[in-house]
Every structure is written in structure tokens, then in C-alpha cells.
Amino acid sequence: MTSAGTPLTCLEMVTRLDDYVDRQLDSDEIRRVESHLAGCLDCAREFRFEAALLEGIRQRLHRIAVPPHLLGAIHARLGESSGTIPSEGAL
């Protein structure tokens, strides 16, 4: 693992991209990712693609009416697999 001040390579950036898009990185890693994105056109393009794709999926999911029994079953299964039941907004 590289240190907090070391610039990321493109390969390191790709391994962090999903976590960055999902806001799962700590503040040091966020700064490293954003620094790399500011200077690398290819990685910035990949980030924009992934972010736009996820946003499109999230928007479509909000428009889908999920039957209450199905939503309850999903919550139950997720709770079984992780030990916690996520909030409805997390789905």
C-alpha cells in the first residue's frame, strides 16, 4: 500500500474508483483520488462514466414501485447476510 502523500498510479486509481464513487474512502484517500483525477484525463473520463451510470441507475430505482412484501423480503435477506438491516434509502 502506498503512503498518503504518494500520488496514485492509474492502476491504484481504478482499484479505488468504486469506493470513491460510493463515498467509502477516508479523507486522505479522497484527496489522493481527486488529485489523480485532476491530472489524468483517462481516469477522469472513467470516473465520469461510472458516476453517470450509477446516478442513472439510482434515478431509475427511485421510480420503481416495489411491493411492500418484496421490500420486506429484501430487507430480511440483507439483514441475514450482513447482520444489520439497511434503511430503505440504502437500497
Each residue of 12-45: pLDDT tens digit?
A: 999 999 899 888 999 999 999 999 999 999 999 9
Type of residue found at 23:
R
- pTM given for the model: 0.60
Mean pLDDT of 51-60: 89
According to DSSP, residue 86 is labeled -
The percentage of the chain sitting over the pLDDT mark of 70, rounded to a whole number, equals 84
Mean pLDDT of 48-67: 87
